[in-house]
């Protein structure tokens, strides 16, 4: 069965070079984080990558990433632009940014024809999640417009924190069958004196269990999800398009589907250390960790 990897990279800046974290060499041979994702995806059995970028950076993206990746896996480009909306809708004249992660996937809809994994371009997820999600995607499941089976990599929160400041994470609650019940966005998370604390939507401080699972935007999705997503985007625009800051976000869409009993999400525990450059001072630690892994690419 063919499988695809969709990499959301439209957030990469228009001028590549110093200061663009997605293009920062971090591996022992100058590898980018995206190189590791591609390597692990290919090893897991994924057949094709769809990069979601902005049209204005295509030439530079191809030069910096595309030419090298094409030797390892079939590549396609989709473009996330502000005006890529369903018929009958136009963005407000004062809006400057596209509509978020779920919109990003819709911009690639015409290029996705098989079960797929979604990841961010600038997160190091490790090897384990790619293999486990690929196995889930190729397993036998009955998907329809009535119920859509999905999965999510659940990272242990302690493995996703920064030593240099607070982070925001989606803390997952699952049932006894390892199905996702809800994802609660939690802010200003940090570990102090072996206790992890953060703040909820109301700004109240909460204690978080050290073994809690969190979402890092690594999802396994079937093709049937795309039509459901498109329908929900139309409803979102009907309600929110006048709000220039409104965002159509993947975790919120999936959370709504769970509440409406339109989707089931299997939480797949991933015992990997997440790495990313949330703060400039994270760079040294990430480089040291990747160097310790050796030459894996």
Domain CATH for 77: 3.90.550.10
Tally of domains in the chain: 1
Share above pLDDT 70 across residues of the chain, in percent, rounded to a whole number: 95
Nearest to 117 by CA among 42, 10, 22: 42
Binned at pLDDT 50, 70 and 90, residue 15 comes out as very low
Interval 231-284: pLDDT, tens: 999 999 999 988 998 999 998 899 999 999 999 999 999 999 998 887 878 888
Output the pTM of the full model.
0.91
Interval 164-183: pLDDT, tens: 899 999 899 999 999 999 98
Q: Which domain holds residue 24?
A: 4-293
């Amino acid at each position: 069965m063919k499988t695809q990897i969709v990499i959301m990279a439209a957030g990469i800046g228009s001028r590549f070079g110093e200061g663009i974290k997605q293009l920062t060499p971090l591996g022992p041979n100058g590898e980018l984080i995206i190189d590791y994702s591609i390597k692990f995806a290919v090893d897991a059995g994924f057949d094709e990558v769809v990069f979601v970028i902005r049209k204005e950076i295509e030439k530079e993206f191809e030069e910096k990433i595309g030419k090298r990746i094409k030797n390892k896996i079939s590549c396609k480009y989709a473009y996330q632009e502000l005006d890529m909306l369903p018929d009958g809708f136009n963005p407000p004249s004062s809006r400057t940014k596209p509509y978020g992660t779920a919109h990003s996937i819709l911009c690639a809809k015409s290029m996705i024809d098989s079960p797929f994994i979604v990841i961010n371009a600038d997160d190091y997820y490790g090897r384990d999640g790619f293999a486990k999600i690929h196995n889930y995607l190729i397993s036998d499941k009955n998907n329809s417009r009535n119920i859509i089976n999905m999965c999510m990599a659940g990272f242990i929160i302690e493995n996703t924190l920064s030593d240099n400041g607070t982070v925001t994470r989606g803390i997952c609650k699952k049932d006894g069958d390892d199905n996702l019940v809800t994802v609660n966005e939690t802010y200003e998370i940090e570990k102090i004196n072996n206790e992890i604390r953060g703040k909820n939507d109301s700004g109240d401080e909460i204690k978080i269990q050290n073994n809690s699972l969190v979402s890092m935007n690594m999802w396994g999705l079937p093709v049937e999800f795309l039509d459901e997503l498109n329908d929900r985007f139309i409803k979102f625009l009907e309600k929110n398009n006048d709000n220039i800051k409104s965002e159509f976000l993947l975790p919120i869409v999936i959370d709504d589907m769970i509440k409406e009993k339109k989707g089931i999400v299997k939480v797949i525990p991933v015992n990997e250390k997440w790495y990313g450059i949330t703060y400039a001072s994270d760079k040294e630690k990430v480089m040291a960790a990747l160097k310790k892994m050796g030459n894996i690419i």
